[in-house]
A and B are shown apart, each in its own frame.
Chain A
């Protein structure tokens, strides 16, 4: 499929402060690209650069095959939804949605018919005469999306559109945006600091930190094979366990020594990864640690661990143990009999682990 968004070697400075450094990102038509990272990582600035709301200091931006690097926002054929919704407070919902068409000189009849179809699609027909201040958060969000939809743009940009909503509404709107993407087949670029939103919505995730791209990949790749310690720690909740261990590789097999809270190190055998340096950080997701009595097989290694804390969370129960000087969380089935202060046999699934360099933080396997 053809490329819709092509960002090459983009730099952005504010005076001497470098906010974005050599960004290379692309999206194909129909992609749902999510820019994710902690606050201050530059993700919103990058979105503003794509929209043309911020000028860039170096590099280029192509949208739909055309060089848009120095083109005004209104001529980029994009639509944007903002975190605060940015509804024009003195205009009615209908005028909010049609303002852009009015500015571009679209005839009144066409404006009305587009308004009707969008209002129907988003089920906001009854709200058209209201002012933004008379709407609830979810309704405002719909109007903001409606304002983007009437543009019929090549690409939709979303700047943390759900972060002002309460938890329940956020889940609802997330689904609606996903459905919208499916129905329209349009390209979307979406900024969020919420990694769950990123995982559920994206076809492709760009993880940013301090103005640098950390990893680009599918949600699965970013989750399963994080490129470095930052991504490993940032994506997923609870976060991936990152345990400093001693690795002794012999060809394609590695003996992994883990220090428990008390006593001598315990050795586990990793049959999947070899050629590792001695000092590494082992990354393992909580769900890849199971109760040994419920799980057995070639790929798992057992270890007796002292349980420090048990946190029932409904569907799952999290247990915390102290390994390699770190708190390690395992996600167990809710019927587990684990009790804090007691020991439990845990099984580690080495087919799914990651290894990171202790010095650079980069992925090693």
Chain B
């Protein structure tokens, strides 16, 4: 990797500049890391140690009590079951919502990019606009619609909402990816006798792994981290983990158990952090895909 704008290679005078640069970069790294560090250390301390000690000090005696409480018995409001049931709610709603919205996005993107018909571009523009609306504008009618459909306060209801408002982005991702594949490929396959589905299955699907990763990771992060839909359309028992976390942290009864709050926050953040750690490349690509035009 050569970079013509890089400062000229270190000589005595430049060496100081080099170290200064390095120091600044590391200082910023600490700025981003400290909240995570504080969360982890706090979650491993006892409440007494927290009250006596220092925010950034390492725990004197490590205890996992807070983690146990956060997982299985922390109270949100009147219920004291910890995050566990809500964590599974999030899993149960995220998995189908990600799968369905990705599938629809793949089909839509394939059609819009490779099987253009009159009006397809208009439909795409309409979908694209849908990505950018503030969701507050659909909260009220959606609440009523879910009621009418009998899905109010249920996990399938939340899946439905996430799929509907995820289609715009998944379609955008796949469309922008498939549009870079030459149309001649479809023509050649048509002459070879393959139809719509055969062409997708044999030619496009094998090419789709990168964009599939990007889309799945994007949707997973969005839906797992969602709070607005979760808090608006769930009820006691069906809340996703983000809502439960907020309830535990802001529950007014009893003493504030900071160590439990931090453990709960880490538990809620763990799945997306894990995905970021193992597939960060695709996560970044998803983030920038929406902004850098395809």
Contacts and interface: CB of A to CB of B under 8 A. Distances in A.
Interface of A: 48, 51-53, 72-74, 78-80, 82-84, 86, 88-91, 99-100, 103-104, 147, 159
Contacts of B182: 84, 86
Interface in B177-198: 182, 184-185, 187-194, 198
B191 A84 contact: no
23 contacts: A48-B187, A51-B187, A51-B191, A53-B187, A72-B190, A73-B187, A74-B194, A80-B191, A82-B184, A83-B184, A88-B189, A90-B207, A91-B202, A91-B206, A99-B192, A99-B202, A100-B192, A100-B194, A103-B193, A103-B194, A103-B198, A104-B193, A159-B184
B55 interface: no
B184 A84 contact: yes
A78 B290 CA distance: 41
A91 B191 CA distance: 17
Contacts of B185: 86, 88-89
B279 interface: no
A78 B191 contact: yes
A99 B188 CA distance: 11
Nearest to B188: A86
A86 B184 contact: yes
Nearest to A157: B191
Contacts of A100: 191-194
Contacts, number: 61
A74 B207 CA distance: 24
Nearest to A15: B118
Which of B185, B187, B188, B198 counts the most chain A CB atoms within 10 A?
B188
Nearest to A153: B191
Q: How many interface residues does chain B have, given as a range?
A: 10 to 19
- Nearest 6 Cβ contacts at the A-B interface: A100-B192, A74-B193, A90-B206, A86-B184, A86-B188, A82-B184
B203 interface: yes
Nearest to B192: A100
Given A80-B188, A91-B206, 14 more contacts: A52-B190, A72-B190, A73-B190, A79-B191, A82-B187, A84-B182, A86-B187, A88-B189, A88-B203, A89-B207, A90-B206, A100-B191, A100-B192, A100-B194
A80 B186 CA distance: 12
A126 B188 CA distance: 24
Contacts of B206: 90-91
A103 B184 contact: no
A159 B184 CA distance: 10
A79 B187 CA distance: 11
A90 B188 CA distance: 14
A88 B206 CA distance: 10
A43 B194 CA distance: 25
A43 to B, nearest CB: 15
A115 to B, nearest CB: 14
Given A53-B190, A78-B191, A88 B202 contact: yes
Contact of A80 (B187, B194, B203): B187
Which of B190, B191, B203 counts the most chain A CB atoms within 10 A?
B191
Contacts of B189: 88, 99
Which of B182, B185, B187, B189 counts the most chain A CB atoms within 10 A?
B187
A260 to B, nearest CB: 52
Nearest to B182: A84
Contacts of B190: 52-53, 72-74
Interface in B20-61: none
A103 B192 contact: yes
Interface in B206-243: 206-207
Contacts of A83: 184
B194 A99 contact: yes
A86 B206 CA distance: 15
A100 B187 CA distance: 12
Contacts of B191: 51, 53, 73-74, 78-80, 100
Contacts of A72: 190
Given A79-B191, A99-B192, A90 B203 contact: yes
B264 to A, nearest CB: 45
Nearest to B190: A73
Which of A52, A74, A79 counts the most chain B CB atoms within 10 A?
A74
Nearest to A90: B206
Nearest to A80: B191
Contacts of A73: 187, 190-191
Nearest to B206: A90
Contacts of A80: 187-188, 191
Interface in B155-204: 182, 184-185, 187-194, 198, 202-203
Contacts of B198: 103
Nearest to B194: A103
Contacts of B194: 74, 99-100, 103
B49 to A, nearest CB: 57
Interface string B123-134: 000000000000
A55 B50 CA distance: 75
A48 B186 CA distance: 12
A79 B184 CA distance: 13
B232 to A, nearest CB: 43
Contacts of A48: 187
B116 to A, nearest CB: 11
B192 to A, nearest CB: 3
A90 B49 CA distance: 59
Contacts of B184: 82-84, 86, 159
A219 B184 CA distance: 29
B190 to A, nearest CB: 5
B176 to A, nearest CB: 18
